[in-house]
Amino acid sequence: MYFAANIQSLNVLVHRIYSPLKILGSIALLIGVISCTNRNSEEQSHLVFRYNAHENITSLDPAFSMNLSNIWACTQLFNGLVQLDDSLAIVPDIASHWTQSADGLKYDFFLKKGIYFHQHPAFGSEKTREVVAADFVFSLNRLSDPQTASPGGWVMQNVKNITAIDNHHLSFQLKKPFPAFLGLLSMRYCSVIPEEVIAEIGSDFRKNPIGTGPFKFKNWEEDVKLIFRKNQQYHEKDRLGNKLPYLEAVAITFVPDKQSEFMLFLQKKIDFLNAIDNAYKDELLTNKGTLQEKYSQKINLQKGPYLNTEYLGFYLDNPSPVIQSRLIREAINIGFDRKKMMTYLRNNIGFIGEKGFIPRGLPGHPQKKRIQYQPQKALKLVEQFKKQTGLKPEINLATDANYVDLCEYLQRELQKIGIFINIEVMPPATLKQARSNGKLEMFRSSWIADYPDAENYLSLFYSKNFSPSGPNYTHHNNPVYDQYFEKSYGLNAEEERYRRYQQMDSIAMSNHPLIPLYYDEVVRFTQKGITGLSINPVNDLKLKKVRKQKNR
């Protein structure tokens, strides 16, 4: 292979592209440094995939893969028992197959043989070893260990015990049936890691990770650059029998400014741009959500459902008569034009939130439209509230700076029906804490799926999940709903469970504890010549099948 004969040249290329720089004041330097002037570098640039993590990466330990930036990096380095394909079907990863008991309490996994960890001195003279069932026992128990303090500890809360029957047979015993269990195991939290390495380096594992993934860790200069190299021993092959991955390296920068990231993309200094930002959405997209003509021959656009519902939530335990009024909550739900909102504020990226809380792309998503724009009915509901209470309906709406334009649109629209909105802009961390502690009357928020099962969304309405200890931020409380929710765990037949999910969604929405705004879309822009970068509803970044054309 050409790369094998020029390994030093590729090292020079990767480090030349991402040489040390101070991010905010050195964008011009970055562009200059990236430029490949060496012929060997140009010939090999198609072997390096380059992207920017503007939200930064805080840890390469999968036990801390709680945000998209961490998850994307860990996806390249680690594997779990199972994985999701692009249609959200659960397929084998390190496990070759599995069985489930009829009562849904026992799962047995059978591991593939010949899968090895990346090399590390902790393994002794061989520098590596095969993955065995005991590694998963260690890795998964570590999630719930208080000394680890992993934000993913909740993943194992329904597991009674995990047992390694032998080197290639792993058994789980659950406390109660949980049909979404396999989906939980597909999360990056559940990656396998080696105990010997943890024992030797401890918390330094966050910046010196050892996994089994298609790429292995090479170098990390925090806030500047991160480099992965191809794992020559990776176990997966493509359908023609070729070993994965195709790329030789992945190089990541940490430019925090979205406009600067966009400029790097236009200048072909990075290969990939995720999502759409207000700073450049009109430059790239028409209001129909298609590429502007001047870019149609230069870049590729990919779109697809994203398991993310954007919404307005009410804290139903707030004593305000306005918040307590179902009339006002319904008036808000039907009192603004979602179609116009999507066209002018989102360039039609996403789907109108008119059916319920479960997003498009997830089994259980309602089939029928439940919410329609009805301004005249909304006006009558507001007038009815005024007659009953003698009050002017006024509400404080909390948001962060990224959604001020959307909230201002809602403010204008709702004023037309007699509801007055005061917008409070907060830092995201402050907003999150205030939401959890019931300090907000109404808040703009989003729910991105932790795992691909609608139970994840419906848990926001279960009374035993009241915040701050659970995700029921609205404090929705309905005994019939709770009964349905609890019984859904015993429904192993998928179609029956999905019908029950739709019923539960309908029950919750009927009281308007929250207002669905839109169901988001995965939006990706790539340079021409990039192939194999698929999209999926959980917006994971899988680079193992990516190819880049030469001299594109």
Give dist(CA 280, CA 258) in Å, integer: 9
The domain that holds 9 is classified in CATH as: 3.40.190.10
Q: What is the total residue count of the chain?
A: 552
The domain that holds 130 is classified in CATH as: 3.90.76.10
* Sign of the CA dihedral running 403, 406, 409, 413: negative
Q: Which of 190, 206, 222 is the endpoint of a domain? A: 206
Asked if 131 contacts 212 with a C-beta cutoff of 8 angstroms, the reply is: yes
Burial grade of 20 (CB within 10 A; 0-12, 13-18, 19 or more): exposed
Write down the pLDDT at residue 291: 96
Please indicate, yes or no, whether residues 160 and 220 belong to a single structural domain of this protein: no
> How does pLDDT run across 276-328, given as a tens digit for each residue?
888 899 999 999 999 999 999 999 999 999 999 999 999 999 999 999 999 99
Please indicate, yes or no, whether residues 271 and 318 belong to a single structural domain of this protein: no
Please indicate, yes or no, whether residues 21 and 124 belong to a single structural domain of this protein: no
Kindly state the tokens that stand for 223. Answer: 């806030």
Please indicate, yes or no, whether residues 550 and 425 belong to a single structural domain of this protein: no
Full domain range(s) for residue 372: 305-521
Please indicate, yes or no, whether residues 138 and 193 belong to a single structural domain of this protein: yes
Secondary structure of the chain: what % helix, strand, coil (to 5)?
35, 20, 40
Please indicate, yes or no, whether residues 351 and 476 belong to a single structural domain of this protein: yes
Instruction: Give the helix/strand (H/E) hosting 268.
Output: none
Residue type, 224: V
Q: Which of 173, 206, 239 is the endpoint of a domain? A: 206
Kindly state the tokens that stand for 428. Answer: 């995201």
Please indicate, yes or no, whether residues 382 and 367 belong to a single structural domain of this protein: yes
Please indicate, yes or no, whether residues 480 and 353 belong to a single structural domain of this protein: yes
DSSP label at 512? Answer: -
127: left (phi over 0), alpha (psi -120 to 50) or beta: left
Please indicate, yes or no, whether residues 353 and 456 belong to a single structural domain of this protein: yes
Burial grade of 175 (CB within 10 A; 0-12, 13-18, 19 or more): exposed
Domain count, the chain: 3
Q: Which of 206, 221, 248 is the endpoint of a domain? A: 206
Q: Please report, in tens digits, the pLDDT of each residue of the chain (552 residues total).
A: 434 444 455 555 555 544 444 444 444 444 454 444 455 555 678 899 999 998 899 999 999 999 999 999 999 999 999 999 999 999 999 999 999 999 999 999 999 999 999 999 999 999 999 999 999 999 999 999 999 999 999 999 999 999 999 999 999 999 999 999 999 999 999 999 999 999 999 999 999 999 999 999 999 999 999 999 999 999 999 999 999 999 999 999 999 999 999 999 999 999 999 998 888 999 999 999 999 999 999 999 999 999 999 999 999 999 999 999 999 999 999 999 999 999 999 999 999 999 999 999 899 999 889 899 999 999 999 999 999 999 999 999 999 999 999 999 999 999 999 999 999 999 999 999 999 999 999 999 999 998 999 999 999 999 999 999 999 999 999 999 999 999 999 998 899 999 999 999 999 999 999 999 999 999 999 999 999 999 999 999 999 999 999 865
Write down the pLDDT at residue 508: 97
Please indicate, yes or no, whether residues 514 and 459 belong to a single structural domain of this protein: yes
The domain that holds 339 is classified in CATH as: 3.10.105.10
Q: DSSP characters for 170-224? A: EEEEESS--TTHHHHHTSGGG----HHHHHHHGGGGGGS----SSEEEEEEETTT
> How does pLDDT run across 504-543, given as a tens digit for each residue?
999 999 999 999 999 999 999 999 999 999 999 999 999 9
Please indicate, yes or no, whether residues 391 and 515 belong to a single structural domain of this protein: yes
Write down the pLDDT at residue 276: 87
Please indicate, yes or no, whether residues 369 and 490 belong to a single structural domain of this protein: yes
Name the CA radius of gyration of the chain, rounded: 25
